[in-house]
């Protein structure tokens, strides 16, 4: 009957209690009440950073009623319908009390509960008034329990009616201190550290790890989807995140991070690796979202500041009279919208590989009204102060302070665009590059290179890394990094830098760049292979790099992945590179010489990835166009291939369907103009071509 609540599956201060069903048996109801009451009483050992008096009183009153429920169950007397109804109401209220106590003692929720102290105190009062009401109408005289127990129940009913579940003076005082600190941040004033320390001490947030738990909780709350979500709630929570992030970075110089540090790195780097390859798996889907609408872009365009937006979103922004960049705030030199065809292709491939129809995205997009609401000013200003502090640490701090600052930057820049912008504006990239070149420990190198990866996701970050001479430092880590994690992260940075057109040529001109990526493909982890393939994909958008990639032996390495890898996304990304290289004659001949023709047909037949099938068809079409009858003659005789092509004209991606129709025309034309050969000759030709 009782449903154990899980703290991570509901939004804080939301109490989804369920009424017991009318047909519930007396024994089941009482047993569930006992379990629920005991669960509430067990909160006596929990830490309540605020609402201490209210929590203690709630637990005490429920403990008294627990004795009553135990005696009723032990005596086994039959209860009247009215008694069962009252107990059902108590059960429903106790569920809410349990939720409330969970929230007040939840790990990481101390600051949030303190700032909601008035609401929380009112909830205690409302819930125990409900308990008092249920006990008032409970026909206690008709229930077979001892006189002392009845007296206790009467006492609880009176206390529940009269109990003053009020806001503690200390809670109110410290909450006001929090509001004052946030007000100072909002005004662009850096608060005194003693004010922040007063709050942290009151909440018993003693160290870096405690502070980090608060941030993680607040970010989870922001991420919850719930029907009545209001913009002001998200803005308020973002402000608290800003405050705690500032506290974590500035106040806790020493942080108990060793076990957490390694674990969090592993979790975060999983995000980084997934970021790289999906669809052609190379990018985090968040990179495909318009910064205004937060939806996948269907028609990405770039404005004069170098930022990319979905066309419909930025047009609405401009029509509203805004002449600044929504992301950076820079004034626009002009309102020209330049199509970003490379990004559009990546988005199309991502959608194809994940079964997303681009034609449906527009209908599913949320209303764009309100998407021009600025970021939380408290969080923005707190981040500015924190960024300046961390950069000072990177420049003037001792070794321990420098590496701690690098780790903070790694965390802060992980997902938030504003954080990256603030860190870049504060000048974080040059000292990070200096620290990267001097790192002698794997963990420190991983933190610095990961921080640079996060900053390279920002357009200005990519430019600064190159302008500060960081490209050679990144390549040095790619070649000689102290861990595979550092090497694969360096490869991801190469990809982001390669998204800038002029930098593709620059990277390609560095002799060791492409060989270092290929070494990572051959000997790296699955993540390292994927990141390196992605980086090569970015480089071959510059035509002259294609020849260098082919000459360095990329095609046999990728063919080997197609042959032996059991990682579908790795296969898909290898196919993506091969389909691009097959567009030119040299690449097509190299693929043919690698005896790879049967692989594309087999992958087309066996793969469940729509993107992989698209790349196979595209490659086969390019091989036909560039290698002529040597390939066409083999494919034209393979009737099972024709079936696969016809299937993809209907059920494949739009791009795959277009390519499949072109390939079918070529094969049909060959059949019409060439005599039918014997099966022996067909077989001989197939073997020779493959």
pLDDT recorded at residue 48: 96
Q: What is the CATH number of domain 565-675?
A: 1.25.40
Predicted confidence (pLDDT) at residue 257 exceeds the cutoff of 60 = no
CB 522 within 8 A of CB 562: no
Please state the domain extents for the chain: 26-167, 286-354, 565-675
Residue 220's pLDDT is: 87
Sign of the CA dihedral running 418, 423, 429, 432: negative
Percent of the chain with pLDDT over 70: 86
d(CA 555, CA 584) in angstroms, rounded, equals 13
pLDDT at 369: 33
* Mean pLDDT value of segment 17-46: 93
Tokens for 678, please give them.
């014997």
pLDDT digits (tens, 9 = 90+) for 176-232: 999 999 999 999 999 999 999 999 999 999 999 999 999 999 988 887 644 344 556
SS3 call for 308: strand
Alpha helices (runs of H) in 440-567, residue ranges in sequence order: 442-456, 459-467, 470-480, 484-498, 501-508, 513-523, 526-539, 543-551, 554-564
| pLDDT band at 359; cut points 50, 70, 90 | very low
What integer pLDDT is reported at residue 104 of this predicted model? 97
pLDDT at position 131 over 70: yes
pLDDT in tens, 588-604: 999 999 988 999 999 99
Mean pLDDT of the chain: 85
Q: Give the integer Cα–Cα distance in Å for 5 and 102.
A: 9
Write out pLDDT tens, residues 322-340: 888 887 778 888 888 888 8
Find the helix or strand (DSSP H, E) in which 301 lies.
Answer: strand 300-302
Side-chain half-sphere CA neighbours of 418 within 13 A = 19
pTM of the model: 0.77
Instruction: Give the span between the Cα atoms of 298 and 348, in whole angstroms.
Output: 8
Tokens, residue 503: 């930098």
Euclidean distance between CA atoms 652 and 608, whole angstroms: 11
> Per-residue confidence at 8, pLDDT binned at 50, 70, 90?
low
Nearest Cα residue to 612 out of 438, 391, 352, 417: 352
Res 115: pLDDT: 97
Residue 147 has pLDDT above 50, yes or no: yes
Fold (topology level) of 286-354:
Herpes Virus-1 (3.30.40)
Instruction: Annotate 126-144 with DSSP letters as a single string.
Output: HHHHHHHHHHHHS-GGGS-
Task: Examine the pLDDT at 405 and tell me if it is beyond 80.
Answer: yes
- Do the domains spanning 286-354 and 565-675 agree at the CATH topology level? no
**Is residue 283 predicted with pLDDT exceeding 90?**
no
Range scoring the smallest mean pLDDT among 91-100, 247-256, 497-506, 557-566: 247-256
Q: How confident is the model at residue 9 (pLDDT cuts 50, 70, 90)?
A: low
Confidence of residue 357 (pLDDT cuts 50, 70, 90): very low
Average pLDDT over every residue of 681-689: 44
The residue-averaged pLDDT of 65-88 equals 90
Q: List the strands of the sheet with 338-339, edge to edge.
A: 308-310, 300-302, 338-339
- Residue 339, beta-bridge partner list: 301
* Residues 269-286: b if buried by 16+ CB within 10 A, e if exposed: beebbebbbbbbbbbbbe
User: Which one, of 326, 328, 331, lies nearest residue 370 by Cα?
Assistant: 326
The pLDDT of residue 144: 83
In order of 278, 346, 496, 565, 656, the CA distances from 353 in angstroms are 8, 11, 21, 18, 11
What's the pLDDT at 165? 84
pLDDT tens digits for 83-101?
999 999 999 999 999 999 9
Rounded-to-integer distance, Cα 177 and Cα 193, Å: 12
Number of Cα atoms under 13 Å in the Cβ half of residue 514:
25
What token pair was written down for 581? Answer: 């290289």
**The pLDDT of residue 44 is above 90:** yes
Q: Per-residue pLDDT for 510 more than 80?
A: yes
Helix and strand totals (H; E) in the chain: 35, 3
Residues above pLDDT 90, as percent of the chain: 59
What pLDDT digit, counting tens, does each position of 618-661 carry?
999 999 999 999 999 999 988 899 999 999 988 888 888 999 99
Q: Which two tokens stand for residue 447?
A: 């933190």
pLDDT digits over 383-397, tens only? 999 999 999 999 999
Q: Which phi and psi angles does 368 have, rounded to 5°? A: -80, -5
pLDDT in tens, 449-492: 999 999 999 989 999 999 999 999 999 999 999 999 999 999 99
**pLDDT on residue 285:** 59
* pLDDT given at position 578: 96
């Amino acid at each position: 009957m009782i449903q154990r609540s899980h703290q991570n599956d509901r939004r804080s201060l939301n109490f989804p209690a369920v009424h017991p069903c009318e047909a519930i048996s007396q024994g089941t109801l009482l047993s569930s009440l006992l379990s629920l009451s005991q669960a509430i009483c067990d909160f006596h050992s929990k830490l309540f950073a605020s609402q201490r008096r209210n929590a203690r009183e709630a637990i005490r009153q429920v403990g008294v009623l627990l004795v009553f429920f135990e005696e009723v169950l032990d005596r086994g007397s039959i209860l009247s319908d009215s008694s069962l109804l009252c107990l059902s109401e108590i059960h429903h209220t106790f569920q809410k009390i349990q939720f409330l106590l969970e929230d007040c003692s939840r790990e990481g929720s101390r600051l949030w509960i303190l700032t909601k102290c008035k609401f929380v105190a009112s909830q205690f009062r409302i819930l125990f008034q409900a308990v008092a009401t249920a006990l008032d109408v409970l026909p206690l005289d008709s229930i077979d329990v001892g006189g002392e127990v009845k007296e206790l129940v009467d006492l609880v009913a009176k206390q529940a009616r009269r109990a003053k579940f009020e806001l503690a003076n200390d809670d109110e005082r410290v909450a006001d201190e929090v509001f004052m600190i946030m007000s100072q941040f909002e005004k662009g004033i850096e608060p005194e550290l003693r004010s922040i320390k007063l709050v942290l001490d009151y909440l018993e947030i003693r160290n870096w790890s405690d502070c980090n738990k608060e941030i993680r909780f607040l970010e989870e709350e922001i991420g919850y989807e719930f029907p009545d979500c209001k913009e002001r709630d998200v803005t308020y929570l973002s402000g608290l995140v800003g405050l705690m992030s500032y506290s974590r970075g500035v106040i806790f110089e020493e942080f108990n991070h060793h076990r957490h540090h390694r674990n969090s790195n592993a979790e975060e780097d999983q995000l980084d690796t997934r970021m790289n390859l999906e669809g052609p798996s190379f990018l985090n889907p968040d990179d495909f979202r318009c910064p205004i609408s937060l939806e996948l872009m269907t028609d990405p365009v770039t404005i004069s500041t170098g930022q990319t937006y979905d066309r419909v979103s930025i047009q609405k922004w401009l029509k509203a009279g805004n002449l600044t960049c929504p992301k950076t705030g820079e004034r626009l030199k002009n309102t020209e919208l330049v199509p970003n065809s490379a990004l559009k292709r990546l988005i199309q491939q991502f959608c194809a590989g994940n079964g997303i129809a681009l034609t449906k995205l527009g209908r599913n997009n949320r209303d764009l009204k309100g998407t021009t609401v600025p970021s939380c000013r408290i969080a923005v200003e707190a981040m500015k102060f924190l960024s300046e502090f961390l950069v000072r640490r990177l420049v003037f701090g001792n070794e321990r302070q420098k590496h701690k600052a690098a780790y903070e930057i790694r965390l802060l820049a992980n997902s938030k665009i504003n954080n990256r912008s603030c860190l870049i504006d504060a000048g974080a990239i040059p000292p990070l590059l200096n620290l990267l070149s001097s790192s002698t420990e794997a963990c420190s190198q991983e933190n610095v290179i990961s921080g640079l990866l996060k900053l390279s996701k920002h357009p200005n970050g990519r430019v600064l890394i190159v302008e500060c001479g960081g490209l050679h430092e990144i390549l040095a880590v790619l070649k000689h990094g102290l861990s595979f994690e550092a090497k694969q992260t360096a490869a991801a940075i190469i990809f982001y830098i390669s998204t800038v057109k002029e930098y593709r040529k620059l990277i390609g001109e560095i002799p060791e760049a492409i060989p270092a990526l290929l070494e990572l493909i051959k000997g790296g982890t699955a993540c390292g292979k994927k990141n390196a393939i992605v980086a090569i994909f970015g480089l071959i958008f510059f035509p002259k790099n294609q020849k260098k990639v082919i000459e360095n032996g990329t095609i046999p390495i990728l063919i080997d992945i197609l042959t032996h890898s059991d990682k579908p996304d790795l296969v898909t990304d290898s196919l993506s590179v091969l389909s691009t290289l097959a567009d030119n004659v040299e690449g097509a001949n190299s693929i043919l010489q690698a005896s790879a023709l049967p692989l594309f047909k087999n992958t087309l037949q066996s793969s469940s990835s729509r993107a992989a099938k698209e790349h196979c068809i595209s490659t086969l079409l390019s091989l036909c166009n560039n290698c002529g009858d040597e390939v066409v003659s083999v494919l034209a005789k393979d009737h099972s291939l024709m079936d696969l092509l016809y299937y993809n004209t209907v059920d494949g991606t739009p791009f795959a369907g277009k390519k499949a129709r072109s390939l079918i025309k070529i094969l049909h034309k060959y059949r019409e103009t060439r005599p039918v050969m014997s099966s022996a000759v067909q077989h001989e030709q197939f073997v020779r071509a493959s």
